[in-house]
Structure 1
Amino acid sequence: MRLSDVTAIFLACLTVSGCASGPPPENVRAGQPSQETTSSVVPPSNLVPSGNVGEAAAAASAPQEELAWAGQVPQSQAFAPAARTVGAPIPSERPIAMLAPAKPEMRAAPQTRSQIYSYGFRDAKPINFGSISPRKLAVHGVDISRWQGEIDWERLRTQGANFAYIKATDGGDHLDPMFRKNWRRAKEAGLKRGAYHFFYWCRTAGEQADWFIRNVPKEAGALPPVIDVEWNGESSCKRRPSRERVLEKMQVFMDKLERHYGQRPIIYTAPDFYRDNLKGAFPDYPFWLRSVAAHPSKVYPKRKWVFWQYSGSGLSHGVDGRIDLNVFHGDENDWHDWVASR
């Protein structure tokens, strides 16, 4: 055989070998939209919570909208058993700084300290809290939903809203129609913000967790998610499960959220629901307590808390009508440390 023939055959073999060595294309399975259709909370006739202790904060349903940003919950998240995380011990002198679970594997947000704006709100129904007034605490914020309508977030922040909790979902099929816009605009205005879910006692906890996960982005720098648990007479669900069942459902929901977002959820509640179900429960979870006529220490004895909702009748530039006012349990340094630990 001639040398030129040998060379040609050798080059042809190299070409065939190179073409066959590349990896096959990766298959990607498209997500499927949710088929959930249950009803949820009926809008209350009075959209503003009253100022009486023991009356649960008002919540309302929103018509379901097409979720352009929501994909299918992966099977591994939707059905795998939740991995329980043991909370860190809470020192008595600093209850708010030690409630961070193990950090998730996500891109870290820049560790910059945001400006703290001092209290500038008014109140349509002011309460004299005496020497333990919430005004003596440094970091105030708000919680909002569709009922506040269009918000001027820049003006609201300069009035003293250093953080905002934004209504995202309730039940297993309702998304607040203002959530996406409020979520985006609050961040643009420089507020620290988190999302909350109104728990619906006629729907399974797992379905509700999956619905929240579908609709609330997993973002570095976001505040921990919140589960809002209360008795609501305006809800289409009249069921009041036993304390044992309530705690079981809450645990399922919170485990799924903690596994997904890498942060232990905060429990928001009102005095009557707390008395019936939560007294002495979940000692390793952070609490957000509604108490609009007295300090939380009087309404929730011995319960450590991170946030205190002290008014349902706040007034502020940037918002038409009344708004819920809240305060963080600590000074400015405590706040920055707590946010950084998220």
Structure 2
Amino acid sequence: MKKLPNPIFCMVISCIIFSCSEKSESEDTITKPEPNAVTEAPKAKAPKTILGIDVSHFQGDVNWQEIKDANIIFVYDKATEGATFTDPKYAKNKVGAHEYDLAHGSYHFYTTDSDPIKQAEFFTNTIDYGIGDMPPVLDLEKGGIKGTVDPKKFQEEVLKWLNYVEQKLGVKPVIYTNHTFGDKYLTSTKFEEYQLWIAEYGVETPKVPKIWDNKGWLIWQRSERGAIEGAISQVDHDLYNPKKSFEVVKK
């Protein structure tokens, strides 16, 4: 894969015009980027609500016009799982999201039965990271644990994936998880460097793993398989933190 140029991030959206998890092949529970070159956009009043969804082949064919009409701003799209599985709807979903001016992001579902570097290579060779895209995401949850795993070794392997993807794409990935999984498997202070996409449903405020106590969350998956009126019936609902800049690749 040819080396991509370093993206320029940090675009604050002042007017809304366009908010790691669907169940993977093996899932049974759900469990600011710091690019090399940064340009700060002029300060503007952030929107109160930045809504998104995350999708995969489980949603079938997505009607992107209806998603747009439902005031969705961004979509995360499952790209890969492990070292060999490519979501069959990934490419189509990415094209559809961009055609309707939705910010698009790609995520990888991590499994412990495959080498982390092979998984990272597979992911970066599958996605076409560029303009209009949000930072890539690593989905870490119970469904990705195969057999007995030592938490220390797991963290070392996950960091290998994160470092490879950052070097290849020039942007820090975001970590998707929940507080239970994070407090068990993501205890290294090195994870503080990464933004958090937290999953927790049916609460007014999500609980983050201890490592992110000071940093807080970037995205909150606040409901699982919720309905969007006038759109597809089964998608995950995501809220972008209004206290943070809404970030996409731009030139």
TM-score (ref. length: structure 2): 0.78
1:324 CA drift (Å): 0.3
Tell me, what secondary structure is at the counterpart of 1:224?
A: coil
User: Contact 1:291–1:299 (CA<8 Å) still a contact in 2?
Assistant: no
User: Secondary structure, in 3 states, of the residue corresponding to 1:208?
Assistant: helix
Alpha-carbon deviation of 1:43? 5.5
| AA matched with 2:82 | G
Paired positions, count: 219
**Structure with the larger strand share:** 2
1:315 to 205, 224, 227: 227
Whether the 8 Å contact between 1:152 and 1:318 is mirrored in structure 2 is: no
**Equivalences for residues 61-100 of structure 1 within 5 A:** 98-100=32-34
**Structure 1 residues 280-310: Cα deviation after superposition (integer angstroms, max 9, x where no partner):** 6411110100011324554545151110000
The sequence identity of aligned pairs, in percent, is: 26
Q: Residue 88 of structure 2 aligns with which residue? A: 177
Question: Match for 1:243 among 151, 154, 158?
Answer: 151
Pairwise CA distance, 1:262: 1.1
Match of 2:51 among 117, 140, 162: 140
| Counterparts in 2 of 1:300 and 1:294: CA distance versus 1, 3 Å | farther
Alpha carbons 2:98, 2:104 under 8 Å: kept: yes
Provide the residue aligned with 1:291 in structure 2: 200
Q: Is the 8 A contact 2:131 2:250 kept in 1?
A: no
Counterpart contact for 1:243–1:277, Cα < 8 Å? yes
CA distance in 2, matches of 1:294, 1:180: 33
Q: Decide whether aligned partners of structure 1 residues 318 and 193 sit closer, same or farther in structure 2, where only a CA change above 3 A counts.
A: farther
Partner of 2:242: 330
Aligned pairs for 1:20-39 within 5 A: none
Q: 2:141 aligns with which of 230, 241, 255?
A: 230
Q: Aligned letter for 2:133?
A: A
- Name the amino acid aligned to 2:142: W
The equivalent position to 1:267 in structure 2, one of 171, 175, 190, is 175
Which residue of structure 2 aligns with residue 306 of structure 1? 218
Report the AA paired with residue 216 of structure 2: K
| Cα contact 1:145–1:167 (8 A) shared by 2 | yes
| Equivalent pair of 2:74/2:103 in contact (CA under 8 Å) | yes
Q: Is contact 1:296-1:308 (8 Å) kept? A: no
CA 1:256–1:318 in structure 2 vs 1: closer, same or farther (change >3 Å)?
Answer: farther
Task: Could you tell me which runs of 5 or more consecutive residues in structure 1 were left unpaired when the two chains were aligned.
Answer: 1-40, 50-54, 58-97, 119-136
Quote how far apart the aligned CAs of 1:257 are.
0.7
Partner of 1:34 in structure 2?
A: none
Q: CA deviation at 1:101?
A: 2.3
Residue of structure 2 aligned with 1:56, choices 30, 35, 50: 30
1:102 is aligned to 2:10 = no
**Cα drift, residue 278 of structure 1:** 1.6
Distance 1:155 1:191 in 2: 12
From the CA coordinates, give the structure whose radius of gyration is larger: 1
Deviations along 1:25-78, one digit per CA (max 9) or x if unpaired, are xxxxxxxxxxxxxxxx6456xxxx8xxxxx425xxxxxxxxxxxxxxxxxxxxx
Gaps spanning 5+ residues in structure 2: where? 1-23
Q: 2 CA distance for matches of 1:249 and 1:280?
A: 12
